[in-house]
Amino acid sequence: MESKKFILQERDIPTAWYNVMAEMPTKPHPMLNPGTKQPLKAEDLYPLFSKEASNQEFNMDDKWIEIPDEVREMYKIWRPTPLVRARGLEKALGTKAHIYFKNESVSPVGSHKLNSAIAQAYYCKKEGVTNITTETGAGQWGAALSMAAKHFGLDLAVYMVKVSYNQKPYRRSIMQTYGAEVIASPSMSTKAGRKIITDHPNYQGSLGTAISEAVELAMSTPNCKYVLGSVLNHVALHQTVIGLEAEKQMEMAGEYPDVVIGCFGGGSNFSGISFPFMRHNFSGDKNTRFIAAEPASCPKLTKGELRYDFGDEAGYTPLIPMYTLGHNFSPANIHAGGLRYHGAGAVVSQLRSEGMIDAVDIPQLETFEAATLFARSEGIIPAPESSHAIAAAIREAKKANEEGTAPVILFNLSGHGLIDMAAYDQYLAGDLTNYEVPDAEIKANTEGLQGLN
């Protein structure tokens, strides 16, 4: 564990986010109105999101978007985050590869999710919003938004998937300690929730249902906006602070990554670590490989179809151009709850379709094996989600060993696993299993979805 950290000062926190849409060779396809099938404009999202977030969602022109002072001040609570040379892991693997990780787990809520939660809460506050609402699965996003909402004096209602609400009481308590209201979803507080409870009294909830409830609350409540933690372009934008800091830190280390890896759910942390480095690929200066590491049980980038699909299960959202497993796809109950999402965001999907992003899907047991090796060699217990990135980095290092090469590998440690120890408990007891998705299931779920032009 002779790790070596590269530490920046507060003045090194980026002053602007990097907007990849301004530079990508082909712009992403537009979101569509599901009724008219017409492309959406920023104004169409104003009823749901803050105006600033809506504008950012459609901004194809500005390469850099200034980070408001109020947001940057709050970033100072934990940013800049360290970049670490994982010498302990390298030694354990007997590799000549140089492995680095960006440690986003040092945030007070334990993950990268705060980077966007703060920005979105700030824009709502600035625009006179008094209430915000969101959904959360395992609770990482809900915890981050709870902290941000409290800071800006916003009331927050979080719809938490019922099975998690009951099984993960610690994450619920974190949100409540920050002062948020947490509602098990489906609930009786919305039409969508009431309908589901009436039809299926024992239904334990899903992210799709929770999104529907939060959206309904936002649309039916004065001065209330909806806030989302991944998938969308403006969320990925806010996360680019990760890669921008890492770029400076790799310079301090005197290296540049040959490979950049992030785990992949909706795309927020993968985009955050990747996009800033990708701009040097766009310019032709570099030729870095970018690898999205997704679960074998939810493999949209490796096995999904590129289609127009809804962002939620109920079909309330606009149609998004995405690699998808189908919005009714029901992922297996793996412990990496943050990766259990059926689709990839529009930008990542476009880049993937052009071959600018690679993807791997990794079985659950391999991710816990990687996580345990990482904990024992680097001292940090990773979140089950982040362990997918670690496993992908280990695969790259092993491949390098076979090939006799020594690449520079950078991955994002998006969060720690200290609130996920029940998962480790099951792993150490031999009680975890792998899940594979049958091709026929993906085919059935994506059949009939509209293709991209």
Residues in the site for a copy of itself, rule: CB under 8 A? 1-5, 7-10, 73-74, 76-77, 84, 88, 106, 108-110, 147, 150-151, 169-171, 173-174, 176-179, 372, 375-376, 378-381, 416, 418-419, 421-422, 424-425, 428
* Direct distance between the N- and C-terminal alpha carbons of the chain, in angstroms, rounded to an integer: 51
Q: What are phi and psi of 312, to 5 degrees?
A: -130, 165
How many of the other CB atoms lie within 10 Å of CB of 355? Answer: 7
We find the least distance from the C-beta atom of residue 418 to a copy of itself, in angstroms, to be: 5
- d(CA 388, CA 292) in angstroms, rounded, equals 9
The tokens describing 384, both together, are: 């089950």
We find the least distance from the C-beta atom of residue 148 to a copy of itself, in angstroms, to be: 9
Q: CA torsion angle for 342, 17, 19, 310 (degrees, to 10)?
A: 20
CB closer to a copy of itself, 23 vs 73: 73
How many of the other CB atoms lie within 10 Å of CB of 76? Answer: 10
We find the least distance from the C-beta atom of residue 219 to a copy of itself, in angstroms, to be: 28
* Burial tier of 403 (Cβ tally within 10 Å: 0-12, 13-18, 19+): exposed
DSSP class per residue in 363-421? -HHHHHHHHHHHHHHHS--B-TTHHHHHHHHHHHHHHHHHHT---EEEEEE-BB-TT-H
We find the least distance from the C-beta atom of residue 71 to a copy of itself, in angstroms, to be: 11
Closest C-alpha to 235, from 341, 328, 368? 341
SS3 38: coil
CB closer to a copy of itself, 111 vs 281: 111
CB closer to a copy of itself, 60 vs 422: 422
SS3 254: coil
- d(CA 70, CA 52) in angstroms, rounded, equals 15
We find the least distance from the C-beta atom of residue 172 to a copy of itself, in angstroms, to be: 8
CB 146 within 8 A of CB 178: yes
CB closer to a copy of itself, 190 vs 386: 386
CB closer to a copy of itself, 140 vs 297: 140
CB closer to a copy of itself, 276 vs 382: 382
We find the least distance from the C-beta atom of residue 314 to a copy of itself, in angstroms, to be: 31
Contacts of 446 (CB under 8 A, 6+ apart): 304, 305, 307, 309, 324, 325, 326
We find the least distance from the C-beta atom of residue 9 to a copy of itself, in angstroms, to be: 6
How many of the other CB atoms lie within 10 Å of CB of 268? Answer: 29
- d(CA 164, CA 135) in angstroms, rounded, equals 12
CB closer to a copy of itself, 362 vs 419: 419
* Burial tier of 46 (Cβ tally within 10 Å: 0-12, 13-18, 19+): middle
We find the least distance from the C-beta atom of residue 293 to a copy of itself, in angstroms, to be: 21
We find the least distance from the C-beta atom of residue 342 to a copy of itself, in angstroms, to be: 29
We find the least distance from the C-beta atom of residue 350 to a copy of itself, in angstroms, to be: 35
CB closer to a copy of itself, 3 vs 445: 3
CB closer to a copy of itself, 1 vs 60: 1
- d(CA 77, CA 384) in angstroms, rounded, equals 25
CB closer to a copy of itself, 63 vs 150: 150
We find the least distance from the C-beta atom of residue 395 to a copy of itself, in angstroms, to be: 21
CB closer to a copy of itself, 76 vs 191: 76
Place of tokens 């990766």: 339
Give whole-number Cα distances, 370 to 58, 89, 161, 227, 373, in Å: 38, 10, 28, 33, 5
